[in-house]
Amino acid sequence: MDTREKDIENLKDYKYGFTTDIENIKAPKGLNENVIKFISNIKKEPKWMLDFRLKAFERFKLLKEPDWQKPKYPKIDYQDLYYYSAPKSMKDKPKSLDELDPKLLETYNKLGIPLQEQARLNGIAVDAVFDSVSVATTFKGELTKHGIIFCSMSEAIQKHPDLVKKYLGTVIPTTDHFFATLNSAVFTDGSFVYIPEGVKCPMELSTYFRINASETGQFERTLIIADKGSYVSYLEGCTAPMRDENQLHAANVELIALDDAEIKYSTVQNWYPGDENGKGGIYNFVTKRGLCKGKNSKISWTQVETGSAITWKYPSCILKGDNSIGEFYSIAITNNHQKADTGTKMIHLGKNTKSKIISKGISAGFSDMTYRGLVDINSKAKNSSNYTQCDSLLMGNKCGAHTVPYIKNKNFDSNVAHEATTSKISEEQLHYCQQRGLNPEEAVGLIVNGFCKEVLQQLPMEFAVEAQKLVGISLEGSVG
Amino acid sequence: MKEQLKIDFNKIQEVSNFSNRDIEIKKSYLNKFIKNGFPNRKHENWKFLDINQIISNNISDLSFYNDYSIENKIDSSIFIDDLEHNKIIFINGRIEKIDFSYEDKKQIEIIEDSYTIDKSENNNSLIDLNIALSNKHFKILIKKDYSLKKPLIIYHLTNEKMKSKNINLRLDFELEQNSSLKLIDFFSDDSEKNFMNIFYNFNLDSDAILKNYKIDKSLNKNLKYSFNNINQKQNSISETFVFSAGSDYFKNEINCNLKGEYSSAFINGIFSLDDNKQHEIRTTINHLVENTKSYQLIKSVLGKNTKSAYQGRIYVDSKAQKTDGYQLSKAILLDETSEFNAKPELEIYADDVKCSHGSASGSLDDNSIFYLMSRGLNYKQAKGLLINGFLLDVIEKITDAEIKDLLKKMIGLKK
C-alpha cells in the first residue's frame, strides 16, 4: 500500500484528519509571564488587556487542577505546550480573501467551509479560526449594514475596546476554575459578536475552529452580546487532524443576553476522537456560560458532541433577569475509548425563570459517558420551573452510562422535575425495522436518530442534516 | 477535639476488657479518624449537609467517654403497646436488656464481642469512629429456616443525664438461609445536643428476608447518623423504611450489595420536617450480578427552615445484566425557607438493564386545594388531606400489615 492509499484508508474513519503543511509562528514553549506578554504583544493588545491576562495568570498559579470528573487522563504538562501558533502568512493580517494564503483557503474548502462568499449555499457568515488566530470572516459588509459586529476577538479588542472591556470576563471571571482561568491568561483568538438593540440578525453566524499545529493548545475565547430586543443564532464547528498525541482545547465562551434578547448557540463538535485503541485525540475542556442578564431574555444551547477523546464541559445558563429562559439540548455520542462528562447548569436567580434540559447520551464500544447537571433554584427565584430529561442508550457491556444530576430547590413556589432512563435498543424495535428490510446497522441508525430527534430538530437546517449523518458515522462498527 | 478523643479512648480501654488485638485494631481506626476528622462538605457524600459544621454549631465540647457501669432505669411507658414484640433496649448507648421472650431460644444466638471488622476499604470516617469507640458489640444470629414470630424492636432511648456526648453503637445481624427478621428501630430522646452514630451490618444468606423500619418521630435536639450495610445472597429480600422527622439532624445511609441472583432491595422513606430540622437519606445499591432488582421511593414534606437531601446511587456492574433499578424522590415545600436537594445518580456498565429515576419538587398544587375547598374543607384541612395522601403512598409500600397499621397510627393517618 503506498502512502496515498494509506492516507485514504485512514481518512475513511475521520475525514477531517488531514494536516495542512504551513509555516507557523509559535510562542516559545511553556507557560510563563513572558509567553503571555508575547501573545499580547504579537496581537498588539492595549495594556488593559495584558493586565487582564496577567491578573488571570496570577490567580491561575494558585489553582489546582480539578480531579472530580469521571474520565481520568494522564497529567498534562502545561510547560510542554505551545500557547500560540499561527500561520506565518497571518502576521500581517491580509485585508481581503485574495491576500489570504491559498493553503488556508484550500484547507477550509476541504473541510466543506468555503470562505468565498459566493460559494456559500445560503447566507451564513463564517469566522474561521485556525490554531490561534482567526483567518477570515465572511459577509462582513452585509452585517455592518445592520450594525452587527462580527469579527475576531483580536480585532474587537482593537476596534471595539469599550464593548470588550465592558463585557469580557463578566460571565466567566478571571477568578473562575482552573481551565477557565488558564484561558483568561493565554487565550488567543475567537469570535466576537455584538447585535445592536432591536436587530434580528439576518443570517446565521458561525465559527469554524481548526486545530492544525502539533503540541499546541487551542485557547479560544468567544463573546456574544445580544443587546435589548435582538436575536442571533450562532453555530460552531470544530475539527482537528489525526495525531497520536493528546491535544488540549480549553475554550471560554461567554454569552450575554440583555432585555428581551435571544441567543441560540449550536455546536457540532467533531474533534479528532483518537483511534480505535484510544490513542491520541483532543481533550475538549471547555467552559461555556450564558448570562440572561435582562428581563425576558433567552439563551438556548444545542450541542452535538461526537468527537474528542475526552469531552468535559457544561454549557450553563445563569437566569438572572426576571422571566428569562434557559434551554439545553444535547446529544453526546461516545464510541471506542472516548469519554465524555457533560451536562449543564441552570442557575435560577430571577423570578418566573424557566429552564429545560434534554440530554441524550449514547455510548458504545469501550466508552464512558456521564451526564452531570445542576439545577439550582435560588430562594428569590419565585415561580420558577425546570424540566430535565436525560436518557442514555448503551450498546454492549463494555461501555458505561452514568447520570449524576444535582437538584437544589430553595423556593417553595418553584417546580423542579427530573426524569432519567437508561436502557438498550429494544429487540422489538430492531426486529420491527429488520422485518421491513433494513439491515441491522440501518435499523440502529434509524432508532438512534429517533432517540435524538428532540435535540436534532433544535439545530438550524443545514447543521441538522450534517449532525444526523455524524450520528450515523460515529456509531459505525458498534452494532453486532 | 483530638486531645479529648485520645483521653476518652484511653479511658474506654481502661474500663473495658478488650483483647490486645482488638485494641490494636481500634487504635488504627482511631488514628484514621483523627487524621480525617468529621466529614465535611468537601466530601461528595456530605455536600448537602455538612456534619462537621452541624456538630460544631450544635454541640460545644463534644466528649466521647460514656460511663456504662451504672444501670439505667427502664421507663416502660415508652414501649409500644399495640404490638407484641421482642426487645433490645439501649439507654444512653448502654445495652440494658435483650429480650426474645416470644421466640424459640434455640433458633437465635446472641454472640458478644465477635469482631468481624470488614477489611474492605471504607472512606467513611464516621464508621472509623464507630469501630474505634463502640463498646460492647453484639451479633444476632438467626438460624436456618427460622422466622421470628414477632417483630424485634430496638429502643434507642436517652435521658437527661446525657449531654454533649457521642455514642457509638454497633450491631451485626446474620440471617441464615431462609430465615426472616422484622426489625423496628424506635428512637425516643429526653436529652439534647448529643451525637449518635449507629452502625448495623446485615448478612442475608439465600432466601432470607429482612425488614427494617426506622422510626425517628419524637421531637428532640440530638444529631444522629445511621449506617446500614446489607449484603444479600441469592433470592434474599431487604426492605428498609425510614421515617425521618424528630431529630434536629438525622442522616440515614443504606448500602445494599446485591451479590446473589434474584435478590432485591426496597428502600422507602419519608421526611416530615419542621423547625430547623435537617435530614438526609443516602442510598447506594450495588447490582453486582444478573437479575437483581431495586426500588426506592422517598418523599419529603418540608416546613419552616428545614432542609432535606436525598442522594441515591444505583451502580450496575458490567456482569449485572437484566437489572431493574428504580428511584423516585418527591418533595413538597411548604415554606419559603424550606429547601430540598437531590442527587439521584445512575452508574451503569451493563447494557441490558432497565434503570430510571425521577425527582420532582414544588409547592402544593393550587388546583387540588381549590377542588377540596370548593367541597367544603377549609384551607388547613385541604392542605392536611393532600399531605397525608402524598405520604400515604410511601406507607402503603410497607409489606407488613401489622407494622403498616402501627405506623399509620403513629403518623396520624389512622385512628
Q: Is the pLDDT of residue A43 over 70?
A: yes
In which band, very low, low, confident or very high, does the pLDDT at A460 lie, cut at 50, 70 and 90? confident
Mean pLDDT in residue range A91-105: 68
Distance from CA of A421 to the nearest CA of B (A): 4
Q: Are B76 and B100 in contact (CB under 8 A)?
A: no
Selecting from A68, A414, A424 the residue whose C-beta is nearest the C-beta of B352 gives: A424
CA distance B362 to chain A (A): 4
Whether A362 maps to a domain, the answer reads: yes
Binding-face residues of A in 318-337 toward B, CB within 8 A:
none
Q: Residue A365 domain-assigned?
A: yes
Cβ–Cβ gap B356/A406 under 8 Å = no
User: Considering its fold, how many domains does chain A have in total?
Assistant: 1
Q: Which of A403, A408, A424 sits opposite B345 (nearest CB)?
A: A403
Count of CB pairs separated by less than 8 Å, A with B: 116
In this prediction, residues A399-420 reach a mean pLDDT of: 90
Contact between B359 and A396 using a beta-carbon 8 Å cutoff: no
- B276 to chain A nearest CA, in Å? 14
Q: Which residues of B touch A422 (CB under 8 A)?
A: 346, 348, 353-356
Local confidence band at A123 (pLDDT 50, 70, 90 cut-offs) = low
- Asked if the model's pLDDT at residue B118 lies above 60, the reply is no
Among chain A residues, CA nearest to B323: A423
Residue A223 falls inside a structural domain: yes
Q: Inter-chain contact A411–B333, Cβ cutoff 8 Å?
A: yes
Name the strand (E) or helix (H) holding A334: strand A325-334
**Band (B113; pLDDT cuts 50, 70, 90):** low
Q: Is residue A143 part of a domain?
A: yes
Residue B88: which pLDDT band, with cuts at 50, 70 and 90?
very high
Residue B284 vs residues B43, B60, B234, B312: alpha-carbon distances, Å: 16, 32, 19, 6
pLDDT exceeds 50 at position A192: yes
What is the pLDDT at residue A290? Answer: 95
Residue A380 touches partner B, C-beta closer than 8 Å: no
Backbone angles phi, psi at A210, to 5 degrees: -135, 125
pLDDT score of A282 more than 70: yes
Q: Tell me which of B41, B346, B357 to substitute to probe the interface with A (most A C-beta atoms closer than 10 Å).
A: B346
Q: What ipTM is given for this predicted complex?
A: 0.85
Burial class (CB in 10 A: 0-12, 13-18, 19+), B3: exposed
Looking at every residue in chain B, the average pLDDT score rounds to 90
Cα B91 to Cα A458: distance, rounded to the nearest angstrom: 62
Contact by Cβ (8 Å): A439, A472: no
Q: How far out from the chain centre does Cα B101 lie?
A: 25
A26 interface with B at CB cutoff 8 Å: no
Locate the chain B residue with the closest alpha carbon to A362.
B351
Place of cell 442508550: A393
Closest CA–CA distance from residue B310 to any residue of chain A (Å): 10
CB contact under 8 A, A394 and B359: no
**A19: contact with B, CB 8 A cutoff:** no
Q: Which pLDDT score, from 0 to 100, does residue B404 have?
A: 93
Q: What is the mean pLDDT of chain A?
A: 85
Which DSSP helix (H) or strand (E) runs through A292?
A: strand A281-292
CA B270 – CA B262 distance, rounded (Å): 27
**Structural domain includes residue A310:** yes
Do strands A124-130 and B249-258 pair parallel, antiparallel, or not at all (unpaired)? unpaired
Which residue in chain A is spatially nearest to B315 when comparing CA positions?
Answer: A402
Write down the pLDDT at residue A11: 44
Contacts of B331 in chain A (CB under 8 A): 409
Cβ distance of A405 and B343 shorter than 8 Å: yes
> Would you call A403 and B341 a contact, using CB atoms and an 8 Å cutoff?
no
Contact A418 B350 (CB under 8 A): no
- Domain encompassing residue A142: 131-425
User: In which band, very low, low, confident or very high, does the pLDDT at A384 lie, cut at 50, 70 and 90?
Assistant: very high
pLDDT tens digits along B217-276: 999 999 999 999 999 999 999 999 999 999 999 999 999 999 999 999 999 999 999 989
Tell me the pLDDT tens digit for each residue of A252-261: 999 999 999 9
Spatial distance between the Cα atoms of A410 and A406, rounded to a whole number of angstroms: 13
Tell whether A166 is within 8 A of chain B (Cβ).
no
pLDDT value, residue A8: 44
| Distance (Å) from the alpha carbon of A411 to chain B's nearest alpha carbon | 6
pTM of the complete model: 0.87
In a domain, A42, yes or no: no
Shortest Cα distance, chain A CAs vs residue B365, angstroms: 10
Would the CB atoms of B346 and A401 count as touching at under 8 Å? Answer: yes
Tell which wins on pLDDT, B17 or B252. B252
The answer as to whether A169 is a domain residue is yes
The model's pLDDT over B262-320, given as tens digits with 9 standing for 90+, comes to: 999 999 999 999 989 999 999 999 999 999 999 999 999 999 999 999 999 999 999 99
Domain for residue A177, yes or no?
A: yes
| Residues counted in chain B | 415
Dist CA A24 CA A104 (whole Å): 12
Element (H, E) at A184: helix A178-186
pLDDT single digits (tens) B334-380: 998 999 999 999 999 998 888 889 999 988 888 999 999 999 999 99
At A132, the pLDDT band (50, 70, 90 cuts) reads: low
Residue A1's pLDDT is: 42
Phi and psi angles of residue B377, each rounded to the nearest 5 degrees, phi first: -80, 150
Q: CB distance from A426 to chain B under 8 Å?
A: no
Backbone angles phi, psi at A282, to 5 degrees: -95, 140
pLDDT at A118 over 70: no
Q: B42 to chain A: nearest residue by CA?
A: A68
Which residue, A327, A419, A403, is CA-closest to A363? A403
Compare CB distances from A394 to B338, B351, B358 and report the shortest one's residue: B351
The answer to whether A313 and A288 have CB atoms below 8 angstroms apart is yes
Q: Any residues with CB less than 8 A from the CB of A366 and at least 6 apart, and which?
A: A278, A336, A337, A398, A399
Half-sphere exposure of A91 (CA within 13 A, CB side): 7
DSSP-derived letter for residue A277 is T
Q: How confident is the model at residue A471 (pLDDT cuts 50, 70, 90)?
A: confident
Mean pLDDT of A450-472: 80
Shortest alpha-carbon distance between residue B49 and chain A (Å):
12
Helix/strand/coil (H, E, C) string of chain B?
CHHHHHHHHHHHHHHCCCCHHHHHHHHHHHHHHHHHCCCCCCCHHHCCCCHHHHHHHHCCCCECCCCCCCCCCCCHHHCCCCCCCEEEEEECCEEEEEECCCCCHHHEEEEECCCCCCCCCCCCHHHHHHHHHCCCCEEEEECCCCECCCCEEEEEEECCCCECEEEEEEEEEEECCCCEEEEEEEEEECCEEEEEEEEEEEEECCCCEEEEEEEECCCCEEEEEEEEEEEECCCCEEEEEEEECCCCEEEEEEEEEECCCCCEEEEEEEEEECCCCEEEEEEEEEECCCCCEEEEEEEEEECCCCEEEEEEEEEECCCCCCCEEEEEEEEEECCCCCEEEEEEEEEECCCCCEEEEEEEEECCCHHHHHHHHHCCCCHHHHHHHHHHHHHHHHHCCCCCHHHHHHHHHHHCCCC
